[in-house]
Amino acid sequence: MLQRFLTAGALAIALPFCAHQACAHEGNGDKGGRIVDAGPYHIELVTKDRRVEVWVYDAKEKAVSPAGFKGTAILVVGGKPARVVLTPAEARLTGEAEVSLGANPKGVVQITGPDGAAASGKFN
Amino acid sequence: MSPFRLPAASRAPAAALALLALPFLPARAHEGHDHGAPQPPVSKTIAPRGEAASAAFELVAIPRGDALVLYLDRFATAEPITDATLEVETPDGPARAEASPDGSYRLPAPWLATRASKDDHLDLVVTVTAGTDLDVLPLTVALPKAAEPKGAEPKGAEPKGAELKGAESARAGHEAGHAGEGWLHRLAEGLTGRLSARDPGAGLAAAGGFVLGLAAMGLMRAGRRAPVLAVLVLAATLVLGATAFAHDGDPPETRAAFVPPPTDLAQRLADGAVFVPKPTQRLLSLRTQVAAEAAFRRTVSLPGRIIPDPNASGVVQSSVGGRLAPPPSGAFPRLGTKVRAGEVLALVAPPVQRVDLSDMRQRQGELDQQIAIVQRRVDRYQKLSPSGAVSQVQLDEAQDELKGLKDRRTALDRIRQEPEVLTAPVGGVIAEAAAIAGQMAAPGQMVFQIVDPGKLWVEALSFDVLTPAADATARLADGRSLPLAYQGAGLADRNQAIPVQFAIQGGSGGLRVGQFVTVLAATDAEQSGLALPRASVVRTANGQDVVYAHTAAERYEAKPVRVAPLDGTRVLVEAGLQPGTRVVVQGAELLDQVR
């Protein structure tokens, strides 16, 4: 009996470790964009024509209010960099580029949190 | 019963232990979510910095006072890029880094001074444009530790606080973000860290405490009070003494005084990797190459020797014995003189023996006498012939006879006076000269050897039959290599091998006939591996062959490899290296000298 308890206990302790190590974050997000790490956050980038939208999540994929955030997206379009300033709007950071961005432009999104710390995520 | 089988009762705890051990195992696959690569150990003498890389570029940024110095290189070749445009997204908005004369880029950074003191890193975005290549690089720069406020706790528990590199600080930030989901995880990491560090102090303290406790228990059971008290007092003294010592040994002022200011020096880190700052990399002109796996023909290396092309070289020999004399130009051609085919190189005057001389004189006298007789007869016939007393036929015969006699007399003179002329059979350069004026040359003796330096061959001894189409190279002792074209192989055995001849393609300047070379000829057998330039493999002090892998912007790791010769300039790495690794191909020897 004691052994069973021990086994169950060990399983209960060991499983969360394994689960934590198996989790993967990068990929596609709920909004149809790409998700990458940016410092303590995860950010999702959605580009539609000239519009850039960035959603900010915390480490547990919970949406973070963009209030107090600011950001800059530098995306490579047709061999030229396009710099887009992002401002909070509703539940996301958004900005308008000067040229059409295409489907999945590569580039970097830098966000600065309310505490002034900047973090950037790279989209390939 | 097998010795490995445990009774059922003890199997469950064993399984439990195994399960518990799982998370502590060091091998962790953490796919898709980069919490930062295992941080290379850094030295206290390296200034904080940050690096970023993409498929095209590698960027290193070092805060220096109120400016940020950036170094930009090609990712694959480590070639410095000095004419790129760097737009940096700073806390004060976009700014452009200006190129410095030393090949770096300088970005004025007044915001470095005004930052909050708790910030230990800075996130920047750098847009790099070099020619047609464009890339956006996120760059995390570790910052020098700001001056600590007075009375701050000594950072004993955080020994690497100042040297946290960009990636590590980012990881720290990220892990703070994960705080909610894993205090257990962090506890486990802490424990494994302690255990893996094998701190002897902690172990000793634990053992000492255990022994003291045992002694106290034993004495209490025996009912003795005084010794128990003594043991407790001893324990208290030890603990207090240890804490006092710990505080004494680590006062913040003395630590600060003894930590030298960070100066970037190339150095070998504790884990054997070599740290080389970017300026030093450029000084040593380090270059890399991305190793790629491919199939190559196996090569055999043969001992070879340079020989003259048989159709473009020749010897000059005297056919008769005689006295050597310089040609009409006045001097024998010196070594290295260029000669044309047919050019007179020397004269050989055959000596006339005394007995021959008297014989010749006798013959000469006879001929002279006959010539005089026939001459008189011709004269007489010429007078009589118009009158018809002597036929024309008789006159003609007499004249022919006179002519024949004169020819014989002339030939006799010529043999006595005219020497043999030695001419160059081919055009080329005098490779060997054995001519001294007045020297007696034996018949068949070589007086000059002429070689065309532009047409040299290599003769190698091969133990197996080479395929005629096989390409080959010759490697010289000084490291140069020459492309060779197969000409033919002999069938006659020589020293258990057959001679194989190759023509040297391209320039053969600086070579000499008879020089030894190593011929590397390809065989039909193919082998796969990573081909690297010969200069990238370094032999270490323990005799092992290593190559240096460029693992991070300023970090090189020695990888022991097994190499096989491939051709004159390249070696084949058969094991020890992954394809895609950036390998130092230039300056590896210099890198190996870093201590």
Yes or no, beta carbons of B19 and A37 under 8 Å apart: no
Retrieve residue B532's tokens: 């690297």
Yes or no, beta carbons of B185 and A16 under 8 Å apart: yes
Question: Best mutation site among B11, B19, B30 for testing chain A: the one with the most A CBs within 10 Å?
Answer: B19
In a domain, A17, yes or no: no
Yes or no, beta carbons of A76 and B122 under 8 Å apart: no
What pLDDT score does B210 carry? 80
Yes or no, beta carbons of B184 and A6 under 8 Å apart: no
For chain A, the three-class secondary structure string (H helix, E strand, C coil) is CHHHHHHHHHHHHHHHHHHHHHCCCCEECCCCCEEEEECCEEEEEEEECCEEEEEEECCCCCECCCCCCEEEEEEEECCEEEEEEEEEECCEEEEECCCCCCCCCEEEEEEECCCCCEEEEEEC
Q: Which distant-in-sequence residues (6+ apart) come within 8 Å of B576 by Cβ?
A: B547, B559, B560, B561, B562
Return the number of CB contacts < 8 Å for A and B: 130
Q: Which residue of B127, B135, B178 is in closest CB contact with A59? A: B178
Measure CA of the first residue to CA of the last residue in chain A; give whole Å. Answer: 54
Q: Which chain A residue is nearest to residue B34, measuring alpha carbons?
A: A37
Q: Which residue of A10, A116, A120 is in closest CB contact with B16? A: A10
Spell out where B326-480 has E strands.
338-339, 344-349, 420-423, 428-433, 440-441, 446-451, 456-462, 472-475
* CA–CA separation, B567 and B298 (whole Å): 9
In a domain, A84, yes or no: yes
Residues of chain A with Cβ-Cβ distance to B171 below 8 Å are none
* Contact present, B561 and B573 (Cβ < 8 Å): yes
How do the pLDDT tens digits run along chain A, 124 residues long?
556 655 555 544 544 444 444 344 456 777 778 888 888 888 888 888 888 888 888 888 888 888 888 888 888 888 888 888 888 888 888 888 888 887 788 888 888 888 777 888 888 7
* CA–CA separation, B12 and A6 (whole Å): 8
- Predicted-complex ipTM score: 0.74
In a domain, A9, yes or no: no
Residues in chain A: 124
Yes or no, beta carbons of A80 and B134 under 8 Å apart: yes
- What is the four-CA torsion angle of A54, B177, B27, B121, rounded to 10 degrees? 80
- What is the four-CA torsion angle of B81, B85, B88, B93, rounded to 10 degrees? 170
Question: Best mutation site among A108, A112, A122, A124 for testing chain B: the one with the most B CBs within 10 Å?
Answer: A108
* CA–CA separation, B78 and B284 (whole Å): 12
Q: How far is CA B457 from CA B337, B431, B460, B476, in A?
A: 21, 15, 10, 14
The whole domain housing A87 covers 29-123
Count of structural domains within chain A = 1
* Contact present, B579 and B295 (Cβ < 8 Å): no
Retrieve residue B298's tokens: 């196996």
What pLDDT score does B250 carry? 46
Q: How far is CA B348 from CA A18, B345, B422, B424, in A?
A: 99, 10, 7, 14
Instruction: Tell me the pLDDT tens digit for each residue of B478-526.
Output: 878 888 888 888 888 888 888 888 888 877 778 888 889 988 887 777 7
Can you tell me which residue has the tokens 């002329």?
Answer: B421
Q: Exposed, middle or buried: residue B578 (CB in 10 Å: 0-12, 13-18, 19+)?
A: exposed
* Contact present, B293 and B579 (Cβ < 8 Å): yes
* CA–CA separation, B422 and B343 (whole Å): 8
Yes or no, beta carbons of A122 and B136 under 8 Å apart: yes
* Contact present, B269 and B275 (Cβ < 8 Å): yes
Q: Give the residues across from B294 on adjacent strands.
A: B529
Can you tell me which residue has the tokens 């910095």?
Answer: B49
Among left, alpha and beta (phi > 0; psi -120 to 50; other), residue B110 is alpha
Distance from CA of B128 to the nearest CA of A (A): 9
In a domain, A99, yes or no: yes
* CA–CA separation, B329 and A87 (whole Å): 96
Q: Which chain A residue is nearest to residue B127, measuring alpha carbons?
A: A81
* Contact present, A80 and A74 (Cβ < 8 Å): no
What pLDDT score does B376 carry? 93
Report the percentage of chain B scoring pLDDT > 90.
18
Retrieve residue A111's tokens: 């966000």
In a domain, A7, yes or no: no
In a domain, A10, yes or no: no
Q: Which residue of B33, B137, B138 is in closest CB contact with A25? A: B33
Residue type, B167: A
* CATH assignment at residue A52: 2.60.40
In a domain, A15, yes or no: no
Give the mean pLDDT of chain A: 77
| Regions in chain B scoring below 50 on pLDDT | 1-6, 8-9, 12, 14-41, 148-181, 245-257
In a domain, A35, yes or no: yes
Question: Best mutation site among B90, B125, B135 for testing chain A: the one with the most A CBs within 10 Å?
Answer: B125
Question: Which H helix or E strand runs over B524?
Answer: strand B516-533
